[in-house]
C-alpha cells in the first residue's frame, strides 16, 4: 500500500473512501469531521442525534455521499473517551478504519491524522501512529495456497491535512511508521513461514538482504565458525539438526566504537521438537514460532538501519533446529559453553537457553552499554502472565528495566518485571557440572532467566516472549499468526 501526504480539505479528496473520527462525547462534529458533516448536509450530526453513531472505540460508521462528495463512502471511526486517549488509541482507530475500508473493497483511502487536532497529541507521533496502525492492520502473509481469485488489496493511503505548517511533521511520522511496519512485516513473515521454508539458511538469507539494503556489517557463522569459538551450547542443540545451523550477527555503525553500543540477542530455534526430550504431538506445529526472538531482532535491525539511528547496534541470532537424532545431545550430557561454564543437560527441550548462552557470551566482545535478549523461552511465562498479555522482563539493571517498561507501554508491546533473586540459582545447581539447564517445573520462568544470567557480564535484560510471538485470535492491529512482537518495543527503546 502506497502512503502519501497531501495538503487539502478532506471533503474534496478524490479517494473512493475517506476516514474521519469522533470522540464519544461529541454532539456537534468539528474540524475535519465537521467539514465532512457540512458537505453531507448534517448526515453525521443526524446519526449522532439518533444514537446510531456513538464514537465509541471500535465503532466504524459508514455513510454514502451519493454525489455530495467525490468519495464513494465516508467512514467515521470512534476514538472512544477523550480522557486518557493516547497513541494506542490512534493506532486502534486507524486499524479499525482501514480494515472496514478493506472489507468494503476500497482501493484508495484518504484519512486525517487521528488525535492531532482536538485529541491534543503531538503531530509527528499521531501521524506515525495513524500510518503504523493502518499498515499493521492490513498485513497479509503470502500463504502457499491456491486462491479462487487474487485477494483484494488497498492500493493507496493518503494522509490529508489542511494546515500546511503540519505537513513536515506528518511526513516525518509517516516515514518512521513505514520503516517500523517493514521491520514488523519481516518478523511476522519469518514466523508465519512453514519451518521447512524458514530454515536457519532462510533467516541468514534475510539477514543478507537487510545488510545489503541498509549497509550493515554481517557475519553468518557455520558449525566450524562456532566450533572455533567454543560455542558448546549452540553446537549441542545443532547436533541433531538436519538443517545447517547459522549464527547470525548484524552490525549497525559497526566501526563507531565512540557511540553507545546496544546488543540485541534473539533465540532462533526454527523448529523445536524438544529433541530427545520430545514434546507431545498435539499443537507441536506452533513450534515453528520458536524463532520469534530472532525474527524480532532481524526486524528491529532493519528499522535501525532504515532510520540510521545514532547508536552502534548489534543484532545476534543463533539459529538452528532442535531435532531428535542419533547424533542429538541427550539428557545427562555435560556441555561446555563458550565462557567455560559447564552445563548438565536435564532436558533437551530447554534448548533455547543453550543457544542464547553462547549468544550472550559473544555479545560481551562489543563492550556493550546494555544487552537485551528475546526468546520464546518458557511455557511458565504464559501461565504467569497470560497468552498475548505481556512478556516477562528480568534485568540486572533497574534503569534498563524501567526504560523497557516505558517503551513497551508507549507502543503497547507490554513487558512486566519479574524477580531475579539469587535464591533461584539453587534450583539449577548440579552435582556434575557448574549448572544444569533446567530447574524443574516450579519457578521455571525465573530459573531459566537465572541460567542465562550466568553468561552475562554487562547490564542485561531478558524478555521471555512466550505467548507473544504467535496469536491464534488476532486483533485490530495483528491478524492471526505471527505478531512481530518485539520489533516496535526494541525500536522505541533504541530511539529514546
Our CA angle for 60, 61, 64, nearest 5°, is 135
Query: What would the grid cell of residue 43 be?
Result: 448526515
Whole-Å CA distances, 123 to 29, 46, 87, 113, 114:
20, 30, 11, 8, 9
- Classify residue 105 by its DSSP letter: T
Please classify residue 77 by burial: count the beta carbons closer than 10 Å to its beta carbon, then call 0-12 exposed, 13-18 middle and 19+ buried: buried
The single residue of 288, 312, 353, 488 carrying the catalytic annotation is 353
The single residue of 140, 279, 369, 403 carrying the catalytic annotation is 279
Alpha helices for 308-378 (secondary structure H): 352-363
Query: What would the grid cell of residue 185 be?
Result: 512485516
Catalytic annotation present for 441: no
CB atoms within 10 A of CB 495: 15
243 in Cβ contact with 320 (< 8 Å): yes
Catalytic annotation present for 495: no
Whole-Å CA distances, 56 to 21, 37, 90, 427:
10, 18, 13, 50
Separation of alpha carbons 29 and 37, rounded Å: 7
Query: What would the grid cell of residue 159 be?
Result: 494522509
Residues recognised as catalytic: 279, 353
Amino acid at each position: 500500500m502506497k502512503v502519501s501526504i497531501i495538503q487539502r480539505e478532506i471533503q474534496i479528496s478524490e479517494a473512493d473512501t475517506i476516514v474521519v473520527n469522533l470522540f464519544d462525547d461529541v454532539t456537534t462534529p468539528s474540524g475535519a469531521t465537521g467539514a465532512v458533516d457540512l458537505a453531507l448536509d448534517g448526515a453525521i450530526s443526524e446519526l449522532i442525534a439518533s444514537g446510531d453513531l456513538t464514537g465509541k472505540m471500535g465503532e466504524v460508521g459508514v455513510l454514502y455521499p451519493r454525489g455530495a462528495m467525490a468519495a464513494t463512502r465516508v467512514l467515521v471511526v470512534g476514538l472512544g473517551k477523550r480522557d486518557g486517549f493516547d497513541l494506542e488509541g490512534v493506532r486502534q482507530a486507524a486499524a479499525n478504519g482501514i480494515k472496514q475500508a478493506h472489507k468494503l473493497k476500497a482501493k484508495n483511502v484518504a484519512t486525517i491524522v487521528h488525535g492531532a487536532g482536538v485529541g491534543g497529541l503531538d503531530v509527528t507521533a499521531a501521524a506515525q501512529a495513524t500510518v503504523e496502525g493502518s499498515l499493521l492492520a492490513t498485513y497479509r502473509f503470502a500463504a502457499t495456497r491456491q486462491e479462487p481469485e487474487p485477494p483484494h488489496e488497498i492500493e493507496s493511503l493518503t494522509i490529508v491535512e489542511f494546515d500546511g505548517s503540519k505537513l513536515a511533521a506528518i511526513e516525518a511520522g509517516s516515514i518512521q511508521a513505514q520503516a517500523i511496519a517493514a521491520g514488523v512485516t519481516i518478523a511476522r513473515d519469518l514466523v508465519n513461514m512453514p519451518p521447512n521454508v524458514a530454515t536457519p539458511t532462510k533467516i541468514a538469507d534475510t539477514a543478507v538482504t537487510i545488510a545489503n539494503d541498509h549497509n550493515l556489517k554481517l557475519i553468518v557463522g557455520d558449525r566450524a565458525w562456532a566450533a572455533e569459538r567454543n560455542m558448546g551450547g549452540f553446537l549441542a542443540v545443532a547436533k541433531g539438526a538436519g538443517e545447517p545451523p547459522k549464527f547470525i550477527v548484524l552490525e549497525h555503525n559497526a566501526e563507531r566504537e565512540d557511540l553507545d553500543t546496544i546488543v540485541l540477542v534473539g533465540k532462533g530455534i526454527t523448529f523445536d521438537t524438544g529433541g530427545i526430550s520430545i514434546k507431545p504431538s498435539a499443537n507441536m506445529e506452533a513450534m515453528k514460532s520458536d524463532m520469534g526472538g530472532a525474527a524480532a531482532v532481524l526486524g528491529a535491525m532493519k528499522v535501525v538501519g532504515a532510520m540510521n539511528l545514532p547508536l552502534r547496534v548489534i543484532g545476534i541470532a543463533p539459529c538452528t533446529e532442535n531435532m531428535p537424532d542419533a547424533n542429538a545431545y541427550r539428557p545427562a550430557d555435560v556441555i561446555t559453553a563458550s565462557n567455560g561454564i559447564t552445563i548438565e543437560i536435564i532436558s533437551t527441550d530447554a534448548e533455547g537457553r543453550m543457544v542464547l548462552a553462547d549468544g550472550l557470551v559473544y555479545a560481551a566482545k562489543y563492550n556493550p552499554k546494555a544487552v537485551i535478549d528475546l526468546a520464546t523461552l518458557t511455557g511458565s511465562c504464559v501461565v504467569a502472565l497470560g497468552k498475548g498479555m505481556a512478556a516477562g522482563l528480568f534485568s540486572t539493571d533497574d534503569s534498563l528495566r524501567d526504560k523497557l517498561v516505558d517503551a513497551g507501554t508507549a507502543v503497547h508491546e507490554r513487558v512486566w518485571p519479574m524477580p531475579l533473586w539469587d535464591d533461584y540459582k539453587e534450583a539449577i545447581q548440579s552435582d556434575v557440572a557448574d549448572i544444569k539447564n533446567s530447574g524443574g517445573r516450579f519457578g521455571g520462568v525465573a530459573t531459566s532467566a537465572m541460567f542465562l544470567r550466568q553468561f552475562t557480564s554487562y547490564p542485561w535484560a531478558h524478555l521471555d516472549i512466550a505467548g507473544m510471538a504467535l496469536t491464534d485470535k488476532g486483533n485490530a492491529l495483528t491478524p492471526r499468526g505471527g505478531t512481530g512482537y518485539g520489533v516496535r518495543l526494541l525500536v522505541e527503546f533504541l530511539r529514546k
